Structure 1
Amino acid sequence: MEINYRNNSKNLILMVHGFSGYPGNLEYLAEKLNEALSYDILVPQLPGHTDKLEDLKQSNHKRWIEKIDSIVEKKKDNYENIYMIGFSMGTLIATIVANRYKEVEKMILIAPPFAFPLKKEILLFLAPGLKLFKKYHYKEVEGNKLNKNLYDEEMRKKYPVKFEKEPLESVIEFNKLRKEGRKSYKNNKTPFLVIQSTGDRVAAYNENQEFLRKNIGSTFGRFVSVDDSGHMIPLDYDRDKVVAETIKFIEEDLSWIKI
């Protein structure tokens, strides 16, 4: 499953969904951007991100990166500008790939999970050891499991979560990706916009803001905060603000940066 708008445009917006998510999590944003900009828009499905936990378990962070990298490599000569939008884990992939290609003009990072509170950082560090010593139970969701990180009730019903708990193997792969994403961000040269909710209980607001602002480097970065959403900002109460800020940033003339 992927979302693909073709408008014979010289501009491409490449969007990357999050961990254990799917392109539908970016459906609203893609639709609104298509209406406003008429750019070509592609939201691919990351390897292993199906409705089966075993598929996610068998995948890895290198394959997730390679999927997006291969798309940029294939598309870069066909477009004048490529804009990357990452949501949650997709921000890590966008940062890594954008750093490899001068053809990526800008990137938008929505709910980025570059940093976590100390307790969660410790758990992620210990995860490989837990795999050896602790039996880890995970299961697929039965019925329509509402997403607790999405506050809008109507959107909760429309976009339920797929899994009760992700495989520990996949969590370990996510953390490998996060380490690579943090390193790429510190060397980033692509102008970017960060949109994050102050009420995000997954990608903690304070920790991520501190990391992103401290390591911004010499490139241009803008930070926008919203207050009425959970982690799933592209679908939540602030979704139209996400749309507006994204359009404004894409259309903004940043040519002065390269002078």
Structure 2
Amino acid sequence: MERPAVEPLAAQSTRFFCEGDGHAVLMLHGLSSSPLELRYLARYLQGEGFTVCAPIIEGYSAGSGVLPMEQWVENAVREFDALAARYERVSICGLSIGGALALRLIRERPAAQSLVLLSLTLAYDGWAIPWYRFLLDWAYFTPLRHRYRYREAEPFGVRNEALRKKIARAMQRSDFSEVGPSTIALPALHQALRLSRAARKDVAAIENDTLIIHAIDDETSSPRNPRHVIDRIGSNFLRTLWLDDSYHMITSDNEREIVARETVLFLRESEAARGAHDTAGQPVVSKALARRLRQLAAVGRKNT
């Protein structure tokens, strides 16, 4: 069945917001990118009734310059607070470096319903990262800071060859594609590394329900990134899903449907668990929600 459309995502400077039920999901895209790379997942979540918000983060998103990473966190906190003022529950979903931003945000706002980490990047250590990558942070403190830009190259984060060709053509025509920018400025990379280091520190203090989805062949961030969180996080409800037919951009690649379906199932189960906790063991689950959870579970078993 075709999913209902959300607001247009054609321009990299476009934020989007889709009104749904009382559970809002704040979606944080990757470094120097835009909500465009979260389009499929956003449509799926909206189709399942969630309120979805994917903002432009000043100083972090494409076309907004570069600010210190502390201001990225402050701006993300403001977006969270705006949703929390209107909706009963707010969950946080981060893709790539957006996952590191989500980790810092949830430490600032521990009342968040749940946390979803997609292709979490705490270090650029994937198999396609050039050997000289570790020198770039040092280069930030040289005149190269104002001239050098890291250029994305094949496979552009996707295993799907047809999509990869489409992305290559898009990047030849412009500086942007549906999986992100063609180049990233050195100051942005430096701030991303600072953010990642900060995100690593307080993982054990995070107790929110957490879903981690990562490709075992991620060319940008190796499985060591999510394992750092898996081994340390304080969550009692932790679900981990490893993908074997995708690269870094799992929201666009071959298994994007699995990513979307598992995210929905996790968020609804987190709702049900919170309801059970709030009522001393009596889950607050409507008949419609219970029926939908059974349907999603059945689909999951069928595709396992």
TM-score (norm 2): 0.72
1:124·1:172 contact (CA, 8 Å) conserved in 2?
no
Superposed displacement of residue 102, structure 1: 4.0
Partners of 2:37 and 2:180 within 8 A in 1? no
**Post-superposition offset of 1:111:** 0.3
Counterpart in the other structure of 1:3: 16
Corresponding position of 1:201: 219
**AA paired with 2:240?**
F
Matching residue within 139, 153, 158 for 1:130 = 139
After TM superposition, give the deviation of residue 239 of structure 1 in Å.
0.1
2-side partners of 1:50 and 1:14: how far apart?
Answer: 15
Tell me the secondary structure at the aligned position of residue 236 of structure 2. Answer: coil
The answer for the alignment partner of 1:191 in structure 2 is 209
Matches of 2:77 and 2:256, distance apart in 1: 27
CA contact (8 A) 1:109 1:193 kept: yes
Deviations 1:49-68 (A, max 9, x none): 5655xx54x32312221221
User: Post-superposition shift, 1:213?
Assistant: 2.3
**Cα distance in 2, alignment partners of residues 224 and 172 from structure 1:** 29
Name the SS for the 1:99 alignment partner. helix
Q: Which residue is 1:104 aligned to?
A: 112
Query: Contact 1:195/1:225 (CA < 8 Å) preserved in 2?
Result: yes
Measure how far apart 1:78 and its partner are: 1.6
Q: Could you tell me which residue of structure 2 aligns to residue 165 of structure 1?
A: 183
Q: Give the letter for the 1:195 counterpart.
A: I
Q: Which has the higher contact order (CA 8 A, sep 6+)?
A: 1
Give 1:114's aligned residue.
122
Matching residue of 1:178: 196
Q: CA deviation at 1:257?
A: 6.9
The residue number in structure 2 matching 1:239 is: 256
Report the Cα offset of residue 13 of structure 1: 1.0
Aligned residues of 2:246 and 2:255 also touching (Cα < 8 A): yes
**TM-score normalised by L of structure 1:** 0.84
Shift of 1:71: 1.3
Look up the match of 2:101: 93
Aligned partner of 1:235: which letter? Answer: S
Asked if the contact 1:140/1:162 (under 8 Å) is kept, the reply is no
Paired position in structure 1 for 2:171: none
Deviation of the 1:16 alpha carbon = 0.4
Q: What residue number does 1:46 align with?
A: 57
Residue 73 (structure 1) shift: 1.7
Whether contact under 8 Å (1:99, 1:189) holds in the other structure is no
Rounded to whole Å, the distance in 1 between the matches of 2:150 and 2:222 is: 25
The number of equivalent residue pairs is: 249
Q: What is the deviation of 1:200?
A: 0.2
Distance in 1 (alpha carbons) for counterparts of 2:179 and 2:235: 38
Shift of 1:133: 4.4
The answer as to 2:92 corresponding to 1:84 is yes
Aligned pair partner of 1:220 in 233, 237, 247: 237
CA contact (8 A) 2:102 2:115 kept: yes
CA distance in 1: counterparts of 2:228 and 2:162, whole angstroms: 33
CA distance, structure 2, for counterparts of residue 97 and residue 87 of structure 1: 13
Aligned to 2:287: none
Q: Residue 25 of structure 1: which of 29, 32, 37 is its match?
A: 37
Amino acid at match of 1:222: R
Alpha-carbon RMSD across the aligned residues, in angstroms, is 2.9
Write the deviation string for residues 11-65 of structure 1: whole angstroms up to 9, x where unpaired.
21110001121100000000011112x121100112245655xx54x32312221
In structure 2, the CA distance between the partners of 1:20 and 1:118, relative to structure 1 (3 Å rule), is closer
Q: Which residue number corresponds to residue 273 of structure 2?
A: 254
**Contact 1:25 1:234 (8 Å CA) reproduced:** yes
Letter in 2 for 1:199: D
